[in-house]
Amino acid sequence: MRTWTGLAAGAVALLFATGIAPAAVDPTLVERSSETHGATTVTWDAAFEDLGYALGEPLTITVRWTVGAGAARASDLVLRGYTPRGPDPAAGTGVQVISRDDASVRATLRFTDLHVDRERGVSIGNAHLALVLRVDADGDGSVDTPVALGVNVHVEDPSGAPGPTAPREACAEPPATPGSGPPGRSRTPAPAVPL
């Protein structure tokens, strides 16, 4: 066993020395939440973050839960959507469940686009998921009521965005085009502001 441990440590050191990083680690759990549904109280892993995420890399999360009263059984982990939305949205793949048991669901997802936060100089995204459990809401011992419990995965890619931009007041407005609307407005696109 000692030989394999030494070889593994040497392999990791060699990867770092050559500039090749090992596989990404799971995101960090940052919040647990609790809810009561009838006779059942569930506490679950509700928020994860990866502040060193590289765009396109798969993320694997394990959402665990405990039941303080009543009973619950896993049904699914589903994607509700990605944010931020708008002209520079975050986007990604669906959730692929790898395994589930009586107290956890393990799944992967991948961000394919991230929102550029120019003020902080990072690219960011949030995946909003729902842990779907069947619970014993009426206290009869049967887990027959589905509930969706929110799970958030926040990522930041520090290498995926330009540095912070100048304050908004330092950016000049383009001159108005005569007859194109109210003073100070133009129907032509604003010129790009150099970063």
Domains parsed from the chain with CATH numbers: 22-161 (2.60.40.1930)
All residues at 6 or more sequence positions from 95 whose CB lies less than 8 Å from its CB, including other chains: 77, 78, 79, 107, 108, 109, 129
pLDDT value of position 138: 93
Q: Is the dihedral of CA 55, 56, 57, 62 positive or negative?
A: positive
Strand, helix or coil for residue 189? coil
For the chain, the first-to-last Cα distance in angstroms comes to: 54
CA–CA separation, 48 and 11 (whole Å): 29
Q: How large is the greatest C-alpha to C-alpha distance in the chain, in angstroms?
A: 80
pLDDT value of position 154: 97
CA–CA separation, 14 and 24 (whole Å): 17
Ranges of residues in the chain with a pLDDT under 70 are 1-25, 160-195
pLDDT value of position 7: 35
pLDDT value of position 79: 96
- Of 157, 152, 160, whose CA–CA distance to 81 is shortest? 152
pLDDT value of position 161: 63
Residue 29 burial (C-beta neighbours within 10 Å; 0-12, 13-18, 19+) = middle
pLDDT value of position 69: 86
CA–CA separation, 59 and 108 (whole Å): 5
Beta bridge partners of 92: 111
CA angle 66, 37, 147 (to 5 degrees): 80
Q: Please, are residues 191 and 173 in contact by the beta-carbon 8 Å criterion?
A: no
